[in-house]
Amino acid sequence: MRPISVFAIHGLGSNPNSAWRHRRSGDGSTVDWLTEVLPRQKGCQEIRITLLNHQTRWDSRTAQVDFTTHAKSMLSYVERLNEGKRPIIFIGHSFGGLLLKQVCCATLHMMLASKTTLSC
């Protein structure tokens, strides 16, 4: 299996360190399913996981930043990290999912404007 990159985008009022954790009911310990469980699965040993952070505090100026600008900034960051070398899987939770949708729309718009094609 070809190595892949996973980019995980957390939701509102969350952060990348806690968004993907599950607290066990028995002893209260936590497990991070992206970094501790997923890489142990068959075919996922060479997976590269990147936890994307974005400001989601209610008292920040996040609401003042245009949503499309926010998405394009994140897309630029992902492109710099991945450099087109690996297939990408995005995971978005809550607001992170909406941001991911905007990233997809911005990418499609840029591709149509430049008449390029997406390789899958």
What integer best gives the mean pLDDT of the chain? 81
According to the model, what pLDDT value does residue 14 have? 81
pLDDT over 70 at 65, yes or no: no
Band (pLDDT 50/70/90 cuts) for residue 118 is low
Indicate the SS3 state at residue 88.
Answer: strand
- Residue 51 token pair: 């936890």
Per the CB < 8 A criterion, the answer to whether 32 and 21 are in contact is yes
According to the model, what pLDDT value does residue 116 have? 64
Quick one: average pLDDT of 48-73? 73
Which residues does residue 90 pair with via DSSP β-bridges, in sequence order? 7
According to the model, what pLDDT value does residue 109 have? 79
The pTM (predicted TM-score) of the whole model is 0.77
